């Protein structure tokens, strides 16, 4: 089942066309249904909750790519609930803490200033806890970087801090997906800093992993002035 989730995520991040994204989202919802159905017959352990959170997070991403902010927010909120339950069941899970911070960070630009004011500190605390629990968790540094990239300066947003976190991520062992995220966000951060040549170098690495990623291709066009 985990392999099916990873395959669906790859179709969303590296789609050949819009149908790919819709079919991957449909597949994830089917997997989620199977998870929930099995949960009625047995207790749900922290691993199942974690993967339910991953499913909802990825569905949220697919809606965000499609420009559907309402459904993206709904599934990010669901992913956040699942991962908060994981933290309660297994407080030493670095990944669960990371995902709590990740989901809050993704919700801040969708829900606005009031949510940021009440939740920004929770996001940072969760991400820092993830790093404290596992200093080799490269994705935790990526999550910290995206928080710094998109949070308002009043709540800790900082381009320099984002780049520093990504430098830390790139020294860790990452999955293929993690390699894409770290290189893409470094390219994005450097483009915001005006360092186009450096940004193109990192973006080239990202596109070698997901050559059809829509965000990466849009950034490439921007860097080339198209």
pLDDT of res. 43: 55
Q: What was the pLDDT predicted at 215? A: 93
Contacts of 224 (CB under 8 A, 6+ apart): none
Q: Measured between alpha carbons, how far apart are the two ends of the chain, in Å?
A: 41
CATH code, domain with 53: 1.25.40.920
Contacts 24+ apart (CB under 8 A), 167-176: 168/138, 168/141, 169/138, 169/139, 169/141, 169/142, 169/145, 170/138, 172/136, 172/137, 172/138, 172/141, 173/136, 173/138, 174/138, 174/139, 176/209
pTM over 0.85, yes/no? yes
User: Are both 112 and 204 inside the same structural domain?
Assistant: no
Mean pLDDT by 10 residues, the chain (226 residues): 90 93 95 77 68 94 93 97 92 95 94 90 96 96 94 89 97 95 98 95 98 96 84
52 alpha carbon, distance to own chain's centre: 14
pLDDT at 95: 94
pLDDT of residue 36: 78
Give the number of domains in the chain.
2
Are 10 and 99 within one domain?
Answer: yes
Q: What is the pLDDT of residue 1?
A: 77
192 and 160 belong to one structural domain? no
Per-residue model confidence (pLDDT) at position 46: 73
Residues 141 and 196 reside in one and the same domain? no
- Residue 152: per-residue pLDDT: 84
54 and 115: one domain? yes
pLDDT at position 44 is 58
* Domain termination site, one of 169, 184, 215: 169
Both 111 and 187 in a single domain? no
Domain containing 214 equals: 174-226
Task: Please check whether residues 37 and 111 belong to one and the same domain.
Answer: yes
152 and 197 part of one domain? no
């Amino acid at each position: 089942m985990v392999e099916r989730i990873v395959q669906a995520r790859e179709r969303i991040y590296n789609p050949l066309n819009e149908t790919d994204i819709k079919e991957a989202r449909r597949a994830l919802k089917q997997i989620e249904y199977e998870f929930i159905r099995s949960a009625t017959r047995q207790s749900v352990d922290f691993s199942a909750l974690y993967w339910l959170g991953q499913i909802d997070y990825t569905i949220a991403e697919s809606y965000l790519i499609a420009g559907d902010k309402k459904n993206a927010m709904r599934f990010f909120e669901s992913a956040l609930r699942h991962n908060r339950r994981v933290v309660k069941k297994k407080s030493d899970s670095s990944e669960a803490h990371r995902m709590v911070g990740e989901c809050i960070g993704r919700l801040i630009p969708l829900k606005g200033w009031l949510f940021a004011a009440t939740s920004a500190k929770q996001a940072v605390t969760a991400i820092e806890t993830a790093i404290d629990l596992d200093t080799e968790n490269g994705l935790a540094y990526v999550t910290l970087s995206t928080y710094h990239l998109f949070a308002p300066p009043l709540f800790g947003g900082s381009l320099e801090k984002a780049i520093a976190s990504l430098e830390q991520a790139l020294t860790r062992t990452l999955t293929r997906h993690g390699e894409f995220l770290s290189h893409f966000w470094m390219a994005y951060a450097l483009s915001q800093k005006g360092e186009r040549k450096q940004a193109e170098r990192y973006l080239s690495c990202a596109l070698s992993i997901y050559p059809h990623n829509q965000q990466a291709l849009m950034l490439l066009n921007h860097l080339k002035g198209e």
